[in-house]
Structure 1
Amino acid sequence: MTLALGGLMSTSTITNAAELDRPALTTSLTTPAINAPAQTPVPTVFPTLDPEASAAPKPAPATFTSLDHAVAAHAAGETDNAEALRCLATTIYFESKGEPLAGQLAVANVVLNRAKSGRFAADVCGVVKQRGQFSFVRRGVLPSVDAVNRMYRTAEAVAKVALASAWKSPAPDALFFNGRKVGLPGRLTKVALIGNHIFYR
């Protein structure tokens, strides 16, 4: 191989000055340079994001001028957790169906605050069904309610408002409530008096 190249180099003549600028050929011991396939660089492919496929940003929460407006807006709305909605709406219905909307929302927020507190069950239905907490619950079973009942539909809309955090709680941080005429033992701090209920933390 070396001799053949040497022979070529000794007998070749330069016919054009431009040939001097050609790059020198390199050879391999395993493959002759004239038979080597052209090396094509492999492009690096980076994944691209499809703007339509990417998750759309969540819309800003709706703002309401009143609690009545918030409840009306949520009357026909959907929720991600139907079971939590049922447990919360049933609690509102049995504990505060005759109360003003602010009182119903405060009852709902007591349940939600308990679920977040670490002192009670960790989810809405667990809080509602926890033994000895709500008198309408019997052996961990919620009573049935006619879903077309007007007061239950209001309780359901209030529950949706509470689950969506669509209106500020009128009894912030409350974990307990009772009727005005019922004494509550223990050292609790009163946070609100709404309708016929007193709310404590």
Structure 2
Amino acid sequence: MSRNFRVAGFAAAILTLAAGVAYADPSQALDTDVAPITSRYIDHATATIDDAAPQVQTADAERILSHDVDFSTPVAQHAVAAIGGDERGALNGANPGGKMASLASLVEEHGATELGSDDLECLAGAVYFESKGEPLEGQLAVAEVIINRAGSGRFPTSYCGVVKQRGQFSFVRGGQIPSIPKASNAWRKAVAIARIAEDDLAESAGADAMFFHARYVSPGWRNLKRVGTIGNHIFYR
């Protein structure tokens, strides 16, 4: 009888040991096979503007760019400068609400559009002089800046008023926009961009931008939030 108990006890001990080994392996796999999760982010710098600074530009001030005028104050607030591949992909892919994805196709469609108003002529003129060498996304962002200003309550309420406001866009001379070669492809694109922006036909990375400047200048706009970059412009709001 006692021998039977000893045999049973010995068998139970073996089963217990086997169970311990079986459970040890899975826990070791969990400890060694699961890779740590890491994350990355892009930190965009912000900029500020001294609201108290005067907006008057001296007659002999050095001209840097057509839009690089009187950086002591929020000049034509724009938003977007050259972007890297990943960032550009994100901007080009932004098209919520079922709007047309291809800005290029919209420009092709509206290139022969008659503007029909002085305000849209001013808007297209600003797009032409400020961004005719920029990618279409950058031209659209410049148009958005002017539209946003006109509706902000902080600037003149018309596109012409915004564009011709003193000390904002240096291509304006004596309150007038210079003549434009209207048979040029660059003007046709500017006209199309003005119409697309006015009718809100495409999403823009600078949809809420109010200011912009060239990438190679540093106006010190620390109180503004950087929206993004497209081509050679950095945009803020």
TM-score, normalised relative to structure 1 = 0.66
Q: Match of 2:181?
A: 146
Q: 1:63 deviation in Å?
A: 4.2
- Give the 4+ runs in structure 1 shifted more than 3 A: none
Q: Which residue type is aligned with residue 131 of structure 1?
A: R
Larger Rg belongs to: 1
Q: Match of 2:166?
A: 131
Structure 1 position 194 matched with structure 2 position 230:
yes
Structure 2 Cα separation of the partners of residues 103 and 133 of structure 1 = 18
Paired residues for 1:45-64 under 5 Å: 63-64=99-100
Q: 1:89 deviation in Å?
A: 1.0
Q: What's the CA shift string for 1:6-42, capped at 9, x where partnerless?
A: xxxxxxxxxxxxxxxxxxxxxxxxxxxxxxxxxxxxx
Q: 1:115 deviation in Å?
A: 0.3
Q: Which residue type is aligned with residue 76 of structure 1?
A: A
Structure 2 Cα separation of the partners of residues 90 and 182 of structure 1 = 23
Structure 2 Cα separation of the partners of residues 101 and 150 of structure 1 = 13
Structure 2 Cα separation of the partners of residues 152 and 112 of structure 1 = 19
Q: Structure 1: where are the runs of 5+ without partners?
A: 1-61
Structure 1 position 185 matched with structure 2 position 224:
no
Structure 2 Cα separation of the partners of residues 184 and 174 of structure 1 = 16
Structure 2 Cα separation of the partners of residues 171 and 138 of structure 1 = 26
Q: Match of 2:105?
A: 69
Q: Match of 1:116?
A: 151
Question: Which fold has the larger relative contact order, with Cα–Cα distance below 8 Å and residues 6 or more apart in sequence?
Answer: 2
SS at match of 1:73: helix
| From 168, 190, 196, the counterpart of 1:161 | 196
SS at match of 1:112: helix
Q: What's the CA shift string for 1:139-183, capped at 9, x where partnerless?
A: 211101011011111111111111111111221311000000111
Structure 1 position 105 matched with structure 2 position 140:
yes
Please tell me whether the aligned partners of residues 172 and 191 of structure 1 are also in contact (alpha carbons under 8 angstroms): no
Please tell me whether the aligned partners of residues 105 and 169 of structure 1 are also in contact (alpha carbons under 8 angstroms): yes
Q: Which residue type is aligned with residue 232 of structure 2?
A: N
Q: 1:78 deviation in Å?
A: 3.9
Structure 2 Cα separation of the partners of residues 123 and 140 of structure 1 = 14
Q: 1:184 deviation in Å?
A: 2.2
Please tell me whether the aligned partners of residues 179 and 197 of structure 1 are also in contact (alpha carbons under 8 angstroms): yes
Q: Structure 2: where are the runs of 5+ without partners?
A: 1-97
Q: What's the CA shift string for 1:52-93, capped at 9, x where partnerless?
A: xxxxxxxxxx942311111112112344x5211210111111
TM-score, normalised relative to structure 2 = 0.56
Q: Which residue type is aligned with residue 75 of structure 1?
A: G
CA RMSD of aligned residues (A): 1.7
Q: Count residues with an aligned counterpart.
A: 140
